Structures are given as structure tokens and as C-alpha cells.
Amino acid sequence: MTTTLPRAQLPLPVRTPPPRSRSPHRVSRWQIYLPLGLYLLFTLVPFYWMLVFAFRPRGSDSLLPWPITFDNFTTVWTGMGFGMFFQNSLLVGVASLISTTVIALSGGYALARYDFRGRQLFLVAMLCTQFIPGAMMLIPLFEIFRTLGLVNSLWALVIAETVFQLPLSLILISGFIKNIPVELEQAAWVDGCSRLRGFFAVVLPMLRPALVAVGSFAFIHSWNNFLFALMFVSEQEKFTLPVGLAFTIGEFSVDFGALAAGGVVAAVPVVLVFAVIQRYLVQGMSAGAVKG
Amino acid sequence: MAVAVEGRRRRPRRPGKPRTPYVLIAPAVVAMLGFLVYPMASVLYYSLQHYNVSKPWEDGFAGLANFQAMLDDPLFWQSLGFSAKWVLVEVTLQLLFGLALALIVNETFVGRALSRALVFSPWAVSGVLTTGIWILLYNPTTGVFRYLADLGIGSYDTAPLADPDTVFAAAVVAELWRGVPFFAILLLADLQTINNDLYEAAAVDGATRVRRFLHITLPHLKDAIILSTLLRAVWEFNNVDLLYTLTGGGPAHQTTTLPLYVAAKAVQSHDFGYGSALTTAAFLILTFFSIAYLRLSKFGART
């Protein structure tokens, strides 16, 4: 309805929009808000439940978020080691983010700006890797990490995460670089810039949306990964949050307040990252779709 | 995907040596050769070996014995069947809900930006966390059903995860919760590339909303739907986090997918040879399915 107003004010309306009541073009309000409201309920009730259980005092039965207590958080953070798990997850997440972005940036530039022997083969191989099941790679990866002495090391997780994130990241970044006119770089070379300086001065600043997308994908993915962390790390001091959470779930008598608080600890960073990037997510994918 | 089909283009002269691209792509190639290609090759190799950490005296070349054993293994067929059912149900429902959501949040209305952010948010949540939340929701003492029973709706005995009749539905709903946003995000991105003039023209010609959806929206979304369903099918087939923690594959292997079965074989019985044969089979099935799906759905064909 908002669109009809400015259009009516145009001096030369190309076509007057058909009247609202008879138009099949318009969707009425309740046709949007009713299904959307129902779906929001389905989305938000689980989050709400987790928050209520995390913050409510022991023995309380109320579903209202008052009074609140931080007891559950103290229990999980210090008593159950979630502070340590959080640190481990953060280390793996940030390290995966950096290594994925750097490797994908350098490889993506090569794929976008050079024709070289083996380029097509590499692209096809990258698509094939999308069908490799992570769970299925557990055995051979475990063997490799054992040979490298990386079992029980967080670096094993960083390596595994980076490798599984690389194909998608390479495709995304090289696609973005392709959309940056090479003439911009050429102008820098003419001015006497080296290729490297040209890259940093011209290309990198324009890649910000791609870097945000790739970096946050890598971070969220590695923050959430469970199976690798479960398999490659068995010392409790090296657990990541999903593994810690899974062990809380697996306890004989589950402490639901602690479970919920642990869940909040695990959720907050990714939800924050997601809140920042979600606009770019749709925009970035639309842009990719336009370019075909 | 677009990268692969793009043709060669003449590029202008540039500074740098001819080996520059190889240097730039070397880290990616090395990482993927070492930690994707090599492990995959070793899975193929082990699948032809007897390799059991707990029975080292039997190790050695096995030929196709592992695959023979697999065909005679009722749990292989059962887990494969459940995988197929799980993937089919999840992908279908996620697509339907995701498409409906994308269409809704593509309209113009007050509160759209916030609605999008909220509706998409479970996408960022991990499988284990999803399990944690839904265990809370399904539990007879802490969950929704207990509070509904307080209001006189349903019964206090409702325990969806403990009841063999409802455990499948319970797992499906939990996975839907975090799975629908994937389709909603992807399809919304594609919806936004539709030229609005098409709708205007169709409206002028008197096309109803249903007809506009069928003749403009769906054909435009076709490739996005094919690709997203394929990616999701592979992902749902492979992903183990949720079922591993929510049901553990039980009760009585009822919710064991093929990857869960592989993980169990590798972890519990240390039978790496047999596990590798299962892995190889799963990889072949996935690849075959993907090629057949892309062919049959005529991906990329002009409509």
C-alpha cells in the first residue's frame, strides 16, 4: 500500500495502479501476518524456553522471565568447564576464520584473474568435494592426525574445519573478484603499483562483503561443529562447546537449568554474528544469482 | 557453480611471473589434497582391506569381502532405508515451509526486516544446541506438553522422544526448526532477482495470483529449488549431529542413518575396513543420486 502514495504524486503516472479492492496483485495484511505470526511462534518459543530455563531460579515453575538469577551460568561456566570450552571454541573459530579467509583469498584471486593449466580440473574437483560426507572422513582423518601427532590438539579441528570450508569460500571469493573490473587494477599497475600493492589498494577494499560472508560462515561452521571435535579430541580441557553441551545432555539426570544456560553460552556468539551478517547474506546471494 | 561453466576470456597483460597463479593457489591445493583427496583415497583402499584395530591378526587384503558382508548386513539396509526416509521427509517439508516463508517475507509490510532476522535465526544454531533446546521442550516435566496439560490440553504423559511411535516425528520437527531458514534465505535471495515488471504485466492481463505464481515465480525459482534441494539432501544425508545427540539412533536403531551407523562401527567396534566399505557405498550412492537428480530435473534447462 505504501507504494501507491508516491506514485500518485508523480507528474506523469505511466499507469495508474488498479484499485486496491479489486486488484489481485495485493496481498491483504492478514494473509501476511497470520502465517508469519504462527511461524514466528514456532521459531521463537524454543529460544524463549531456553532463556527462561537458563535464567529462572531453581525450583521455580514459572514461564515468565522474572525473577532472574545467574546461578545456572556460574554453575556451567566455572563448575562444568564451559568457560574453558568457550575459550577453546573461540580459538578454533577465530583460527579457522583466519586460515579459511586467507587461503581462499589467495586461491580465489588466482581462479578469478588467471587462466592456468589445471584451473578447470581444480574447479570440478572442488564441486565434487561437496559430496564428501564429513562423518565418512572421520576414520582416515583420525589416522592422519595421529600420524601428525595432532590427536587431542585443537589444531586438528582448525585444519579439518578450514579444509571443509575451503571449496565454498573459494567459489564465493573468486566470484566476487570476477565482478570487480580488472581495469581498476590495471589503472593501478599503470601508476606503477606492483600486482600485490594493486591487490591491497584496489581489490581488497571492494571485497568486504565477500570477506564478511566467508569469514562468518567459517566462524559459525566451526563454532557449531560437533563430530570432528568429538572424535579428534578426548581430553576434557580441550572440549569445544558442542561437545561439552552434548555431554551435559548425555548425563543420567539432566540438569535442565545448566543445560539451558550452557545453550545460551553456545548460542550468543553465533546469534550475534548472524544478526550482523543476515542482511548481507540475502543481498550477497541475490547478487550472485543476478550474475548467474 | 557459475564459476565452473564460465568460458575462457582473453585477459590483458599484467605484471607478475607465469607461475604466480600456482603459488597463489598452492595452499588451497595442498590443504585439499592432504585432508580431502588423500583421506577419500584411503577410504577406498581400506574398503578393500580387513582392518580392525581390535583384531589386528586378521588384517590384510580383503577383496570385496567387506562389500559382500555389507549386502548381507540387515542394519546396513535398515539405516540406508531410514536415511532415504529422513532425507525425503526433511527436504520436502523444509522446501515447502521455506518457500512459503520466502514468499511471505518478500512482500512489503511493517516489521519486515525484523521478521526476516528472527525467522532466519535458527540457521545459525548448531545441531547439538538444537537437541538441547528440543530436549527441554519435549521433556515431560520441563516441556511444552506439561504446560499445555496445565491448561487442560493434552496429557501429562506426553513424551515424544521416549515413545517409539512419535520419536521420528519429534526428530523431524526439531530438524525442521533449524532447517527451514536455509531454504527461506536461498529462495528469498532468488525471489529478489525477479523483475517486478513481469508481475505488473501479468496483473494488467488479469492473471490471478495463483497463475502468476505458477507461471512467473515457480519457473524463475526452478534452478534455485533444484540446487538447494540437492545441496540440502546431501547435507541431511551426511549430517549426524542432531540425531546422534537427540535420539542416539535409537530406540532399537529406529533412527539410525547410514553415517550414524558408520560412526558407530568405527567408534565402537573399531572395524575400519568395514566402516570404509560403508563409507564408499554411501559416497557412490550420493554421487549417483546427485547426477540422476540433476539430469532428471533438467537443471539449467531453459523453460
Higher pLDDT, A25 or A219: A219
Number of domains in chain B: 1
The pLDDT tens digits for A164-185 are 989 888 988 888 888 888 888 8
The residues that bridge with B271 in the sheet, in sequence order, are B52
Closest partner residue to A123 (CB to CB) among B3, B43, B133 is B3
CA distance A36 to chain B (A): 7
C-alpha cell at B107: 512482500
d(CA B139, CA B146): 8
pLDDT at residue B77 above 90?
yes
**Per-residue cell: A24:** 489481485
What's the CA gap between B215 and B211, in Å, rounded? 6
- The single-letter DSSP state of residue A78 is I
According to the model, what pLDDT value does residue B15 have? 53
What value does the mean pLDDT take over residues A196-210? Answer: 85
Q: What are phi and psi of A161, to 5 degrees?
A: -60, -45
> What's the confidence (pLDDT) of residue A284?
65
Name the residue with higher pLDDT: A28 or B25: B25
Quick count: other Cβ atoms within 10 Å of Cβ B43? 24
Q: What CA–CA distance (Å, rounded) separates A117 from A123?
A: 12
Q: What is the pLDDT of residues B241-288, one digit of tens each?
A: 899 888 888 787 888 999 888 877 777 777 888 888 888 888 888 888
A residues 7..46 contacting B (CB < 8 A): 15, 18, 23-25, 27, 29, 32-33, 35-36, 39-40, 42-46
Residue A58: list chain B partners with CB under 8 A. Answer: none
- If one looks up domain A73-291 in CATH, what number appears? 1.10.3720.10
Pairs of CB atoms within 8 A across A/B = 309
Contact at CB, A106 and B124, closer than 8 angstroms: no
> For the segment A264-286, what is each residue's pLDDT rounded down to a tens digit?
999 999 988 888 888 777 776 66
> Does position B193 have pLDDT exceeding 60, yes or no?
yes
The reply to whether A261 touches chain B by the CB within 8 Å rule is no
B24, A110: Cβ pair inside 8 Å? Answer: yes
Rounded Cα–Cα distance for residues B256 and B263 (Å)? 10
Q: Please state, in angstroms and as integers, the Cα–Cα distance from residue A7 to each residue in A10, A13, A273, B124, following that order.
A: 5, 7, 38, 39
Domain boundaries, chain A: 28-69, 73-291
H-type alpha helices, chain A: 4-9, 29-55, 71-74, 82-113, 119-129, 138-147, 154-178, 182-190, 195-198, 204-206, 208-224, 227-232, 241-250, 256-291
CA dist., res. A219 & res. A97, Å (int): 5
| d(C-alpha B187, C-alpha B218), whole Å | 11
Residue B91's φ and ψ, nearest 5 degrees, are -65, -40
In a domain, B20, yes or no: no
| Cell, residue B246 | 537427540
Please state, for a pLDDT cut of 90, what percent of chain B lies above it. 28
Answer whether residue A23 shows pLDDT above 50: no
Task: Compute and round to an integer the Cα radius of gyration of chain A.
Answer: 25
Mean pLDDT, range B38-66, rounded to an integer: 81
Cβ proximity of B82 and B260 under 8 Å: no
Expressed as residue numbers, the domain containing B166 is 60-296
List the single best residue of B25, B29, B51, B183 to mutate versus A (max A Cβ within 10 A): B25
CB contact under 8 Å between B29 and A189, yes or no, is no
pLDDT band at B128 (very low <50, low <70, confident <90, very high): very high
Side chain identity at residue B178, one-letter code: R
Domain assignment present for residue B303? The answer is no
Average pLDDT over residues B216-237: 89
Statement: residue A50 has pLDDT above 80: yes
Distance from CA of B195 to the nearest CA of A (A): 11
Reference A207, options A219, A215, A195, A197; nearest CA is: A215
Quick check: A284 and A208 in contact, CB under 8 A?
Answer: no
Give the CA radius of gyration of chain B.
24
* Residue scoring higher pLDDT (A130 or B235): B235
Residues on chain A touching B275 (C-beta within 8 angstroms): 139
Closest chain B C-alpha to A160 CA, distance in angstroms = 7
> What's the start-to-end Cα distance of chain A, in Å?
32
| Alpha-carbon span A182 to A195, nearest angstrom | 12
User: If you average pLDDT over every residue of chain B, what do you get?
Assistant: 85
**Looking at the complex, does the CB of residue A3 fall below 8 Å from at least one CB of chain B?**
yes
A278 touching B (Cβ < 8 Å): yes
Q: Are B107 and A32 in contact (CB under 8 A)?
A: yes
Record: contact B124-A134, CB cut-off 8 A:
no
| Residue A188 confidence (pLDDT) above 80 | yes
Domain of residue B131, CATH code: 1.10.3720.10
**Mean pLDDT, to the nearest integer, of B90-117?**
92
Nearest C-alpha in A relative to B184? A282
Chain A residues touching B148 at Cβ < 8 A: none
- Which of B124, B129, B266 faces A274 most closely, judged by CB atoms? B124
Would residue B206 be called left, alpha or beta, if left means φ above 0 and alpha means ψ between -120 and 50 degrees? left
DSSP symbol at A135: G
A155-186 as b/e, with b when 16 or more CB fall inside 10 Å?
A: ebbbbbbbbbbbbbbbbbbbbbbbebebeebb
Q: What is the dihedral of CA A246, A252, A258, A261, to 10 degrees?
A: 30
Cα B104 from Cα B145, distance rounded (Å): 29
ipTM: 0.85
Among A residues 148-167, those touching chain B with beta carbons less than 8 Å apart: 159-160, 162-164, 166-167
Which amino acid is located at A23 in the chain? S
Cis check: omega of the bond before B251, within 30 degrees of 0: yes
Distance CA A267, CA B133 (A): 11
What is the rounded average pLDDT for all residues in chain A?
A: 83
Q: What is the 3-state secondary structure (H, E, C) of A196-223?
A: HHHHHHHHHHHCHHHHHHHHHHHHHHHH
Q: Nine-digit cell at B57?
A: 591378526
How far B165 CA sits from the closest chain A CA (Å)? 22
Amino acid, single-letter form, for residue A250: G
Best A131, A179, A185, A251 residue to mutate vs chain B (most B CBs within 10 Å): A131
Residue B49 domain-assigned?
no
Higher pLDDT, B131 or A125: B131
Cell matching residue B232: 540440502
Q: Give backbone dihedrals phi and psi of B220, rounded to 5 degrees, phi first.
A: -65, -40
3-state secondary structure chain B: CHHHHCCCCCCCCCCCCCCHHHHHHHHHHHHHHHHHHHHHHHHHHHHCEECECCCHHHCEECCCHHHHHHHCCHHHHHHHHHHHHHHHHHHHHHHHHHHHHHHHHHCCCCCHHHHHHHHHHHHHCCHHHHHHHHHHHHCCCCCHHHHHHHCCCCCCCCCCCCCCCCHHHHHHHHHHHHHHHHHHHHHHHHHCCCCHHHHHHHHHCCCCHHHHHHHHHHHHHHHHHHHHHHHHHHHHHHCCHHHHHHCCCCCCCCCCCHHHHHHHHHHHCCEHHHHHHHHHHHHHHHHHHHHHHHHHCCCCCCC
